[in-house]
């Protein structure tokens, strides 16, 4: 097996000139710039033409945002020396997941989704914004059950929603402190879980409730009883007919915690509790196959048969298969981002010829816990570039965005 080479390019320094991948920083301080954790499959920060990258801009990164504290939503113009322009603001963001930014698949040149919070009621909701019209096309609010976007259908038309105020209590790294939580004090509510919204009609339904999930899990996972359950990672597959997610409780504890993967059809039917936990931040492959980690290997997991259907790479290529993984839109490349000794590294594997490369490390800046800087690699639409975060080598150690370009001539 051959291995691709790399060179690192920063604004003032070129370390090498070998083919493989290039890395460059595209945003600068003194303000911080980041996109956020991948959060849901198929997230692409570039608009349809590839000219603009949508991201967040903040004044601080050393604490969680206070209730009502806004972050700027910016466009980075890749055709104009990566000039940064503020287009909106959001009060529903955090350092790990950002504001769940997502270009609308049905109008990806000009429209994107993001989460926001009402400054008076502190209710979280989803916004659809148009950069050509310079306005919010719609605000998708649900006063009785205020939730935000947790995953847009990859072909568009729908998004899933979860209660980010509940997450602020039970999984702060992914929640919004001070948001209104209608489920406070209820361990397994019947009116909360995973919601599904039709973007055009705003028709909304609760696909599965925490009460239903507890009932489905109890036989094989009795640890659900007595726990305040929450949901992370509502992932649409590429065909938009399946949804994968984790049901969790007491997640900050090593003993007795609940951490169970489930799948269901996109209409909420055929809820299935998976036999195996495939680790890390998994990604949908083709059909009903997931890419994740099992027994120290990067694996393909068949969610129908509930078994490992194959492996990818080797322990040498993927030393931490439970890292953040992302399959390129063309299905030809897999990237695994993993943390090691205060740095994030990205291993990029060509699935056809098995060539691979590991990038230089990107500093995590010493941040951990709710402020940690996860790798979160994000592909562009051409499957040639990745957007990743890192702490810049500047005096203030600001959080900035970097682009990794894959040299396709090296395939």
Cβ contacts of 255 within 8 Å, gap of 6 or more: none
Taking residues 154-171, what's their average pLDDT?
Answer: 96
Cβ contacts of 120 within 8 Å, gap of 6 or more: none
Greater pLDDT, 251 or 203 = 203
pLDDT at 386: 96
Taking residues 119-130, what's their average pLDDT?
Answer: 97
pLDDT at 14 over 80: no
Question: Is there a contact between 19 and 370 (Cβ–Cβ < 8 Å)?
Answer: no
- Residue that is written with structure tokens 């060539």 in the block: 355
Distance of CA 245 to the CA centre of its chain: 13
Question: Is there a contact between 180 and 165 (Cβ–Cβ < 8 Å)?
Answer: yes
From CA 389, how far away is CA 33, in angstroms rounded? 8
How does residue 16 score in pLDDT terms, banded at 50, 70 and 90?
very low
pLDDT at 2: 39
- Pairing label, strands 399-406, 7-10: unpaired
Taking residues 31-41, what's their average pLDDT?
Answer: 81
In whole numbers, what is the pLDDT of the chain averaged over residues? 91
Greater pLDDT, 157 or 2 = 157
352 burial (CB, 10 Å; 0-12 / 13-18 / 19+) is exposed
- For the beta carbon of residue 150, count every other beta carbon within 10 angstroms: 27
From CA 262, how far away is CA 128, in angstroms rounded? 29
7 strand-pairing partners: 22
- Residue that is written with structure tokens 């993984």 in the block: 325
Question: Is there a contact between 10 and 22 (Cβ–Cβ < 8 Å)?
Answer: no
pLDDT at 408: 67
Taking residues 227-255, what's their average pLDDT?
Answer: 92
HEC readout, 15-83: CCCCCCEEEEECCCCCCEEECCCCCCCCCCCECCCCCEEEEEEECCCCCCCCCCCCEEEEEEECCCCCE
Rg (CA), the chain: 20
pLDDT in tens, 291-317: 999 999 999 999 999 999 999 999 999
Peptide bond into 30 cis (omega under 30): yes
pLDDT in tens, 68-112: 899 999 999 999 999 999 999 999 999 988 999 999 999 999 999
Helix (H) or strand (E) holding 348: strand 343-350
pLDDT at 39: 52
Share of the chain above pLDDT 90, in %: 81
pLDDT at 38: 64
Helix (H) or strand (E) holding 234: strand 230-236
Q: How many CA atoms lie within 13 A of 86 on its CB side?
A: 9
pLDDT at 285 over 80: yes
Taking residues 27-51, what's their average pLDDT?
Answer: 89
How does residue 368 score in pLDDT terms, banded at 50, 70 and 90?
confident
pLDDT at 248 over 80: yes
376 strand-pairing partners: none
pLDDT at 130 over 90: yes
Q: Residue 195 is encoded by which pair of tokens?
A: 């919601």
- For the beta carbon of residue 218, count every other beta carbon within 10 angstroms: 13
């Amino acid at each position: 097996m051959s291995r691709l080479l790399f060179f690192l390019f920063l604004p003032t320094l070129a370390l090498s000139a070998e083919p493989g991948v290039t890395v460059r920083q595209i945003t600068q301080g003194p303000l911080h710039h980041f996109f956020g954790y991948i959060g849901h499959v198929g997230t692409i920060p570039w608009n349809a033409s590839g000219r603009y990258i949508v991201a967040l801009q903040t004044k601080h990164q050393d604490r969680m945002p206070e209730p009502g504290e806004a972050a700027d939503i910016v466009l980075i113009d890749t055709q104009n020396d990566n000039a940064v322009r503020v287009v909106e603001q959001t009060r529903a963001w955090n350092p790990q997941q950002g504001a769940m930014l997502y270009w609308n698949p049905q109008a990806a040149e000009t429209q994107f989704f993001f989460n926001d919070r009402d400054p008076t009621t502190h209710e979280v909701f989803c916004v659809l914004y148009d950069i050509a019209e310079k306005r919010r096309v719609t605000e998708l609010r649900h006063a009785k059950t205020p939730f935000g976007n947790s995953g847009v259908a990859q072909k568009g038309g729908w998004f899933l929603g979860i209660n980010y105020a509940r997450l602020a209590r039970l999984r702060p790294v992914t929640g919004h402190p001070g948001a209104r939580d209608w489920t406070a004090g209820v361990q397994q509510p019947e009116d909360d879980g995973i919601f599904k919204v039709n973007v055009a009609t705003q028709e909304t339904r609760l696909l599965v409730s925490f009460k239903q999930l507890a009932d489905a899990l109890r036989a094989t996972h009795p640890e659900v009883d007595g726990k305040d359950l929450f949901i992370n990672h509502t992932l649409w597959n590429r065909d938009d007919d399946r949804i994968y997610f984790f049901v969790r409780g007491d997640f900050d504890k090593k003993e007795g915690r609940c951490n169970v993967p489930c799948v269901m059809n996109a209409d909420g039917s055929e809820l299935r509790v998976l036999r195996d936990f495939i680790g890390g931040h998994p990604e949908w492959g083709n059909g009903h196959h997931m890419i994740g980690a099992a027994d120290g290997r990067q694996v393909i997991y068949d969610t129908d048969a509930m078994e490992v259907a194959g492996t990818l790479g080797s322990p040498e290529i993927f030393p931490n298969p439970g890292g953040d993984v992302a399959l390129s839109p063309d299905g030809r490349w897999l990237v695994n981002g993993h943390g090691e000794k205060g740095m994030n590294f990205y291993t990029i594997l060509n699935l056809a010829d098995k060539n691979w490369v590991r990038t230089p490390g990107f500093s995590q800046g010493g941040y951990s816990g709710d402020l940690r800087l996860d790798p979160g690699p994000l592909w562009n639409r051409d499957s040639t570039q990745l957007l990743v975060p890192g702490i810049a080598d500047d005096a203030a150690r600001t959080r900035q965005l970097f682009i990794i370009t894959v040299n396709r001539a090296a395939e």
